[in-house]
Amino acid sequence: MPRESRRKSDSGIYHIMLRGINKQIIFEDDMDKRRFLETIEKYKQISHFKLYAYCLMDNHVHLLLEESEERISEVIKRISSSYVYWYNLKYERCGHLFQDRFKSENVETIRYFLTVLRYIHQNPLKAGLVSNVFESKWTSIYDYVNNKADLVDIDKALDLFSADRRKAIQMFIAYMQQANEDQCLDNQTQIRLQDSQVNEYLHSLGVHNSSDLQQMTKVERDLILVRLKKLRGTSVRQISRITGISKSVIDRAR
């Protein structure tokens, strides 16, 4: 059966998600993420699209783009092909890295544009990787906060908040922190966190090694274990391996 063609956005704006094939990690380290952003910047100059937001997770990417002369499918093909070529050379591999067909949704209204903008910036927060939206290192949120328009086209969104740029940034910051039940294009494949990411999260909770956790009172320890279990992309087996606490104790933590 032939694939259904993508419906063209009347506004030209799309929420894009690129994800690793078979749940594969697409960014092994910060250098990979920097390279991906450099690739976006390169083809932004060639294809003249606008980038309103991005979020780089370990095995998927969210982008908020507006196409220009070149169709969005060609834009994504350029970016993904260039990055995969570099990635395969670096890691001495061959073959596909991204799932064959990227996911997208049309962004037709101002209200939904702002919803997607917030959703993308809150992605690491909702995945349980950070405790607040401003801890996210690999999103475009600080392009807005710092009024920096090098890679990200910040004017459209900030102008929607206020014509006064200082006031607009303040309103943007408040909006980015709002609790919500936003339902946007999502990564339906399960995220698997690396041990290093779980350890980073433990450090943010004040737990620097397994001994710290094991020496806590039962109440304190269980509070940490419950937060770990709620962390999207972890398993009881992984938590047990990292903390040295038995799976039965972790299962009982409430």
What is the b/e burial string over 60-95, where b = at least 16 CB atoms within 10 angstroms of the residue's CB? bbbbbbbbeeeebeebbebbbebbbeebeeeeeeee
Given a cut of 60, whether residue 239 has pLDDT beyond it is yes
Residues 118-130 pLDDT 10s: 999 999 998 888 8
Residue 249's pLDDT is: 86
Residues 2-22 pLDDT 10s: 455 677 888 999 999 998 887
**Torsion angle defined by CA atoms of residues 48, 38, 17 and 31, in that order, rounded to the nearest 10 degrees:** 180
Q: Domains (ranges, CATH) in the chain?
A: 13-176 (3.30.70.1290), 195-252 (no CATH)
pTM above 0.85, yes or no: no
Q: Is the CB of residue 64 less than 8 Å from the CB of residue 52?
A: yes
**Torsion angle defined by CA atoms of residues 95, 15, 122 and 20, in that order, rounded to the nearest 10 degrees:** -10
Given a cut of 70, whether residue 189 has pLDDT beyond it is no
The mean per-residue pLDDT over the stretch 77-88 comes to 94
Q: Is 174 exposed, middle or buried (0-12, 13-18, 19+ CB in 10 A)?
A: exposed
Residue 219's pLDDT is: 87
The mean per-residue pLDDT over the stretch 52-79 comes to 94
